[in-house]
Amino acid sequence: MAAHWVITLGGAATVFVVLALFFFIFLEVYPLLQGAKVTKENTYTLQDKAISIGVDDHQEVAFAVYNNGNIEFISLSNGEVFKKYQIAGLNGSSVTHQDATNFPHKTNAQGNYITSVSQDRDRLALGTNDGRILTVSINFSESFDNEKRIILPEISEAETVIVNTEGIGLNSITSRGDESATVTAVHTEDGKLVLISSEVERTLFGEGERKEIKKDITDLVVQYSLNQITPPSQEGGGKLETGTMLVSHNPIHVTEQENKIEITSLALDLFMENLYVGTSSGELFHINVRDRSNPYLVEKVRVSDKAITALGFLLGDVSLVTGDAGGGVNVWMQVRDEMSSSGWALKKVHTLTSHNAKVIAVASSMRDKGFVTIATDGTIHLNHATSEQTLLNFETKSILTTLVFSPKANGILVTDSNNRLFQWIISNPHPETTLKTLFGPVWYEGYEKPEFIWQSTGGTDDFEPKLSLVPLIFGTIKGTVYALIIAVPIGILAALYTSQFLHNSLKIIKPVIEIMAALPSVILGFLAGLWLAPLLERIFPAIIIMPFFITLSIVIALVIWKILPVFGKGWYRYGTEALVLIPFLIGAVYVSLQLGGVFESVFLGGDYREWFSNILGLRYDQRNAVIVGIAMGFAVIPLIFTISEDAMSNVPNSLRSASLALGATPWQTAVRIVLPTASPGIFSAVMIGFGRAVGETMIVLMATGNTPIMDWNLFNGFRALSANIAVEIPEAPFGGTLYRVLFLAALLLFITTFVVNTLAEMVRQRMRLRYSKL
């Protein structure tokens, strides 16, 4: 009775632990299935229509810029204006352009009107109606008083830049700058596209001289607009360098010989080398401005049938977001193209959910490849380029004017034509993960086509995480297959010989092999990676010819066994004759090692690695699938051998005796009676070996190059799910996307092992019923 309850409780406890483990892993994975959500919403009242807005990192202070040069700082905790600032350099002129918004013209007391401002994080470039550019920087300082955070704004103004002395207003502006250079492109009311740059050139002695260039580049747009329009993603070139978002809007007319172009958006990248000009016809002009004195048109592509009303770079400025008058939102990227004369072409790589009205602004995340778009119908979309999903979709039922995405990508602020400021605090912890990004091909930045890629970290802040589990699943399958190819035949045949033919005095080999199963896998991985891998690399030509000489030695041994009568004198005990093969096998290995160099020189051109690469197209890596197959096979063989040998030894003697009595040879009896009868046990052995190989960590970790590639090549490495967990989990931030994706990998291993073992048990039971009738 006591034993009954102990066994029952033990079984129940085992089931409980397995289920608890499953639910724990699932709870860690579950947040990946949850989308973005709004956690808080606030509405504030402004004094006028804002032309630009911004917010600090903690979403405690926002600022609004007005067309008369006033800047108000608003506490988002109570909506009160706690500081005002008047732009000193305005001198009565009003701002006339913001690089992300479309405004109707509005005159103030001085008769000036407003269109928009160019905003680059904490730097504002303001275009005025008298042809000047004002630059204002707004930063926030933090201090603490009795553990209460105090955020104070800091405003500074740069030197005013005069675009023209005729007082012609600026309709569009996009500007970028750093400590040594500033580049600005403006579109004036008289239809000119002007590039203005200011750069400090330093001598060998550290002295700097500022060089200013002002160049009319209108002809780059006008001249090429007369040519045939380039089909999307087919022609053109010019590599898109990295940078961040700058956008310009509002139709500007450029007329030449009755050909009118309406420039509707501008964007300049972070490195101040690539200027994009969008037009009302849906054409996108890419102008290289690296040489400020000699910019040139790189390519022209029609990206839409509607006017391009919004442009914005994603984090890193490799991908360019386009929004059009029809509400379309797409992501374009420079991709290598052999058909292009320059080797590069602008191609559409992602398509997002469209708005139902004209897109008027794009704001990119400073944390990931996410971005926000707003349209004239008051709709707001939170998108993520890599996953091609719209995470949030809501509307204000008012005409929106300006947009900002908080620096931590956890808040969206917009203003409308009714002088209201809306704030949404959002929770969006895992925007990169969908079924497609985890298990499907994704077109990542810098790649020529959609691919399965695992690369969780990079060397820059603008890195795009690549979290496809397919290469890891492939690596797990590859390692398991190669290990079983070695382990299954050796384990089963060794078990067959040991149980049916080996003399009882030599069956001590069984516990010796079982002891092999107790070897720590870290030891096997260490030996495989640091000893076996270099050894095989040195003698690999000998390994190629070794199967031939081993087979030849066995044939020679058999011939000698049959010819020489001394072996028929009964000097040996039955079941020990296999020992005769040992010297022949040793001789075969020795001959192979001696002739390996000759074989390499004669048949492999003197260098087998180069021959593999040039003739077979295979690259040989020192730590490859062959090494893993041998090492992991060595770990799996004891399991398959032990269970298979027990199954064969437990076949009733009556079946063997009956077979032998009917005239069958011992080999026929072993193959036709013992193997079928013991097949349920053998199948269980193989499945247990499969589970061991699937879950193996240290051997795969230490004996491969841990490269997550998808290739069945024997001579390159791979990365398995289990090894990836061991490598990545120490560096994964707790609760982050990588952390939870690693738990998803663990869940896949758990489910795979559970399903395979369940199916294996079902098959084993059916085979047992079938062969129990023998």
Q: What percent of the chain has pLDDT over 90?
A: 49
pLDDT of 223 reads 60
Distance CA 179, CA 163 (A): 21
Pick left, alpha or beta for residue 709 (phi over 0 → left; psi -120 to 50 → alpha; otherwise beta): beta
Q: What percent of the chain has pLDDT over 70?
A: 88
Distance CA 587, CA 762 (A): 46
Between 106 and 509, residue with greater pLDDT: 509
pLDDT of 508 reads 84
Closest residue by Cα to residue 686 from 529, 523, 486: 486
Contacts with 271 (C-beta within 8 Å, 6 or more apart), sequence order: 241, 242, 243, 317
594-612 pLDDT, tens digit per residue, is 999 999 999 998 899 999 9
| 500 alpha carbon, distance to own chain's centre | 53
Question: DSSP for 530-595?
Answer: IIIHHHHHHHHHHHHHHHHHHHHHHHHHHHHHHH-GGGGSS-S-TT-GGGGHHHHHHHHHHHHHHH
pLDDT of 474 reads 95
Contacts with 612 (C-beta within 8 Å, 6 or more apart), sequence order: 618, 619, 620, 715
Distance CA 386, CA 572 (A): 72
Give the Cβ contact number of residue 579 at 10 Å: 11
Distance CA 327, CA 265 (A): 15
For residue 144, tell me if it sits in a domain: no
Closest residue by Cα to residue 315 from 465, 526, 516, 508: 465
For residue 319, tell me if it sits in a domain: no
**Is the confidence at residue 113, as pLDDT, over 70?**
no
**Is the confidence at residue 69, as pLDDT, over 70?**
yes
> Which amino acid, residue 756?
V
Mean pLDDT for 397-424 is 93
Q: What is the CA radius of gyration of the chain?
A: 36
Burial class (CB in 10 A: 0-12, 13-18, 19+), 433: buried
**Is the confidence at residue 49, as pLDDT, over 80?**
yes
For residue 593, tell me if it sits in a domain: yes
Q: What is the mean pLDDT of the chain?
A: 85
pLDDT of 119 reads 85
pLDDT of 515 reads 85
Mean pLDDT for 450-470 is 89
pLDDT of 115 reads 58
Pick left, alpha or beta for residue 584 (phi over 0 → left; psi -120 to 50 → alpha; otherwise beta): alpha
Mean pLDDT for 171-200 is 88
Distance CA 66, CA 84 (A): 11
Contacts with 383 (C-beta within 8 Å, 6 or more apart), sequence order: 329, 352, 353, 370, 371, 372, 373, 389, 390, 391
- The dihedrals phi and psi of 765, each to the nearest 5 degrees, come to -65, -40
pLDDT of 754 reads 87
pLDDT of 247 reads 38
- The answer to whether 737 touches 428, Cβ cutoff 8 Å, is no
For residue 322, the surrounding DSSP H or E stretch is strand 319-324
pLDDT of 231 reads 38
Give the Cβ contact number of residue 419 at 10 Å: 15
For residue 426, tell me if it sits in a domain: no
pLDDT of 205 reads 64
Mean pLDDT for 46-70 is 91
Contacts with 371 (C-beta within 8 Å, 6 or more apart), sequence order: 245, 312, 314, 321, 362, 363, 364, 365, 383, 384, 385, 405
For residue 686, tell me if it sits in a domain: yes
For residue 550, tell me if it sits in a domain: yes
Mean pLDDT for 322-339 is 91
Domain that holds residue 692: 481-706
Q: What's the number of domains the chain is made of? A: 1
pLDDT of 363 reads 94
Segment of 195-199, 369-373, 456-460 carrying the highest mean pLDDT: 369-373
For the sheet with 411-416, list strands across it: 37-45, 420-427, 411-416, 400-405
For residue 83, the surrounding DSSP H or E stretch is strand 81-86
User: Distance from first CA to last CA of the chain, Å, rounded?
Assistant: 36
For residue 686, the surrounding DSSP H or E stretch is helix 675-695
For residue 674, tell me if it sits in a domain: yes
Give Cα separations from 434 to 57, 301, 476 (angstroms).
28, 31, 22
**Is the confidence at residue 90, as pLDDT, over 90?**
no
**pTM for the predicted model, two decimal places:** 0.86
pLDDT of 765 reads 81
pLDDT of 336 reads 86
> Which amino acid, residue 179?
E
Distance CA 760, CA 763 (A): 5
Task: Read off the DSSP letter of residue 316.
Answer: B
**Is the confidence at residue 575, as pLDDT, over 90?**
no
Q: Token pair for residue 757?
A: 């073992």
Mean pLDDT for 79-91 is 85
pLDDT of 479 reads 92
pLDDT of 593 reads 93
Distance CA 157, CA 65 (A): 14
Closest residue by Cα to residue 224 from 268, 284, 171, 183: 284
Mean pLDDT for 704-723 is 90
**Is the confidence at residue 103, as pLDDT, over 70?**
no
- The single residue listed with the structure tokens 């398509």 is 351
Q: Token pair for residue 576?
A: 């020990």
Q: Token pair for residue 644?
A: 């298979």
Q: What is the total residue count of the chain?
A: 774
pLDDT of 503 reads 79
For residue 174, tell me if it sits in a domain: no
222-280 pLDDT, tens digit per residue, is 765 544 434 344 333 333 333 333 333 333 344 444 445 688 889 999 989 999 999 88
Distance CA 41, CA 425 (A): 6
pLDDT of 3 reads 84
Least confident among 226-235, 430-439, 556-565, 570-579: 226-235
Q: Token pair for residue 477?
A: 């399958």
Mean pLDDT for 745-764 is 88
**Is the confidence at residue 592, as pLDDT, over 80?**
yes
| 476 alpha carbon, distance to own chain's centre | 19
